[in-house]
Amino acid sequence: QVQLVESGGGLVQPGGSRRLSCAASGRTVSSYAMGWFRQAPGKEREFVATISWNGFFTNYADSVKGRFTISRDIAKNTVYLQMNSLKPEDTAVYFCNAGIKGLSPGNYWGKGTLVTVSS
């Protein structure tokens, strides 16, 4: 069983920054590729970023490339999403996911954390 708990969401002004965290627990979680998806109001959930199990490889959606950075602390079983230069269109519920393959989500999801970008 893998459990994922996100934190760090909130209200941020356009151009601002925010760091999301995903605390993972479970016997085999350190062997999973992990990442973030997001769902804006009225839209489908979309891929944001992923990181390999060892942290060596990352991939990003074009819409966030150059602004967001994904990282993981293997010892702490935690994945981070540093979001800079935030735009109103980044407003969404951000979900942590474990077991990602390519751009497809794995079976394990957190409950999500809401990020609102607004002045």
Please give the average per-residue pLDDT across 50-62, as a whole number: 95
Phi/psi of residue 43, each to 5°? -125, 165
Q: Supply the pLDDT for residue 110.
A: 97
Which residues lie closer than 8 Å to 106 by C-beta, 6 or more apart? 32, 33, 97, 98, 99, 100
- The model's pLDDT over 90-113, given as tens digits with 9 standing for 90+, comes to 999 999 999 998 889 999 999 999
Q: Supply the pLDDT for residue 102.
A: 86
